[in-house]
């Protein structure tokens, strides 16, 4: 989302469109800081957004431009839309004036199938006497040397049962309220007060089949979200597929640091930020003000654009998400990368729901056989420069990233959150 040097970003495209449409003067066209550009939520690289709010000092009456909104959208690529613009109070800041945000995470239900017998994670689970997956009906009569592609064809036909769905919903309820989410982000110390975040609600949909694959969606409504907080979904998925009790979530709020893998960016969608407090104040301000008065301040309301947003999501988000999964099997490659791991970092997946000392990440101490994330799972576009599908080759060592966000300043972390 946020403007960065030499990187194509949503804010960069919007600022350029505002300049070309005449909504930002040529004198201010060289630096968005001059017009106070701020955003309500800065999405991670690769994360979708259906609604966001940008605050900026802009020209709303441009000579020769009768419909400024249409003119701005004409300057934008079709996958970026401005739904509306409204006049706000001078003190308004899109990030600090925002009360809460809503995100949805989508994933195929086959991620809940236990690790394949014989895989690295399967062997680790057997050592801890956890549910190893040997007796899971999905793996019955499957050859140990079956290929990922062969397994994938069977996974598409798998459907989650009511018992497992109930366990998932029960575990998700553990996120409700105010907790220390230090294990669900990077670059924060366990005692950092900024890790205390409030989740208003977490709702898990009924499963829906698209094509051959069954999908679930998780709607998270929180006061604010930390960088890489999609780890919340990862903890749910990993605990359910390994038979780990929901009490693990409570353990993850404690001051011990553990490594929780990030879910792929592909499944995450910022629905929209919410400005309830600001809208309530403006309702009082507008009591004796006419709609046409320059002092009138409209509410920031995404609901009035619901139909357009719904159509946009289907064309540019949901369809791309499903087609990417169909072509590249992003989620399956991600879960297989976890199942290949046989080190100690995931030993908190056990029948007691406890965190053993071997799984604790100790600051300044090198971990033996530490789990490493793949940068490629932070992408949503899997087409190479020559137009062919990127196969997400597992052996590409240059694509490995470190889990710890070394050198990120507190200010940069705050800017990265939303």
3-state SS class at 414 = helix
Instruction: Give how far the C-alpha of residue 163 lies from the chain's centroid of Cα atoms, to the nearest Å.
Output: 26
- Concerning whether 141 is annotated as a catalytic residue, the answer is no
What residue has token string 């989650």?
Answer: 160
Length in residues, the chain: 418
Task: Single out the catalytic residue among 6, 27, 44, 295.
Answer: 44
Query: CB neighbours of 350 closer than 8 A, spacing ≥ 6?
Result: 125, 128, 129, 130, 242, 244, 356
Instruction: Give how far the C-alpha of residue 324 lies from the chain's centroid of Cα atoms, to the nearest Å.
Output: 16
Q: How far apart are CA 276 and CA 100, in angstroms?
A: 9
Query: CB neighbours of 129 closer than 8 A, spacing ≥ 6?
Result: 350, 351
Largest CA distance in the chain: 74
Instruction: Give how far the C-alpha of residue 14 lies from the chain's centroid of Cα atoms, to the nearest Å.
Output: 22
- The pair of structure tokens assigned to 308 is 């357009």
Query: CB neighbours of 10 closer than 8 A, spacing ≥ 6?
Result: 1, 49, 52, 80
User: Are 160 and 208 spatial neighbours (Cβ–Cβ below 8 Å)?
Assistant: no
Strands 213-222 and 196-204: antiparallel
- The pair of structure tokens assigned to 253 is 């709020």
3-state SS class at 383 = strand
Q: Say if residue 103 carries a ligand binding annotation.
A: yes
Per DSSP, the residues of 174-187 read GG-EEEE-GGGSSS
Facing residues of 220 across strands?
A: 103, 202
Instruction: Please classify residue 372 by burial: count the beta carbons closer than 10 Å to its beta carbon, then call 0-12 exposed, 13-18 middle and 19+ buried.
Output: middle
What residue numbers does the annotated binding site cover?
103
Residue numbers annotated as active site: 44
What residue numbers does the annotated binding site for substrate cover?
103
């Amino acid at each position: 989302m946020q403007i960065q040097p030499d990187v194509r970003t949503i804010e960069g495209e919007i600022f350029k469109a505002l300049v070309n449409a005449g909504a930002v003067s040529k004198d201010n066209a060289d630096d968005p800081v001059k017009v106070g550009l701020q955003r309500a939520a800065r999405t991670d690289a690769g994360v979708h957004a259906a609604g966001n709010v940008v605050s900026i000092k802009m020209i709303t009456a441009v000579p020769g431009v009768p419909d400024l909104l249409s003119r701005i959208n004409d300057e934008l690529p079709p996958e970026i839309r401005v739904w509306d613009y409204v006049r706000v109070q001078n003190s308004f800041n899109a990030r600090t004036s925002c009360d809460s945000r809503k995100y949805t995470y989508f994933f195929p239900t086959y991620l809940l199938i236990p690790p394949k017998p014989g895989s690295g994670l399967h062997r680790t689970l057997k050592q801890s006497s956890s549910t190893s997956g040997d007796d899971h009906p999905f793996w019955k009569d499957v050859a140990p040397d079956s290929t990922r592609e062969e397994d994938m064809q069977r996974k598409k036909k798998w459907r989650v049962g009511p018992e497992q769905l109930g366990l998932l919903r029960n575990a998700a309820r553990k996120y409700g309220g105010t907790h220390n989410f230090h294990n669900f982000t990077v670059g924060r110390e366990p005692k950092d007060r900024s890790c205390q975040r409030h989740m208003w609600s977490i709702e898990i949909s009924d499963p829906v089949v698209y094509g051959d694959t069954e999908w679930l969606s998780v709607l998270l409504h929180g006061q604010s979200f930390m960088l890489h907080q999609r780890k919340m979904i990862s903890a749910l998925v990993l605990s359910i597929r390994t038979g780990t009790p929901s009490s693990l979530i409570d353990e993850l709020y404690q001051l011990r640091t553990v490594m929780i893998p990030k879910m792929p960016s592909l499944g995450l969608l910022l629905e929209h930020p919410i400005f309830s407090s600001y809208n309530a104040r403006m309702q009082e301000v507008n009591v004796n003000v006419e709609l046409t008065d320059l002092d009138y301040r409209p509410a920031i309301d995404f609901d009035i654009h619901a139909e357009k947003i719904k159509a946009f999501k289907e064309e540019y988000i949901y369809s791309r998400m499903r087609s990417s999964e169909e072509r590249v099997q992003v989620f399956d490659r991600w879960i297989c990368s976890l199942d290949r791991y046989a080190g100690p970092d995931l030993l908190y997946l056990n029948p007691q729901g406890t965190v053993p000392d071997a799984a604790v990440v100790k600051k300044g101490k090198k971990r033996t056989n530490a789990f490493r994330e793949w940068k490629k799972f932070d992408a949503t576009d899997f087409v190479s420069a020559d137009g062919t599908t990127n196969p997400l080759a597992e052996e590409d060592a240059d694509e490995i990233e470190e889990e710890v966000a070394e050198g990120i300043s507190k200010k940069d972390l705050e800017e990265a959150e939303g």
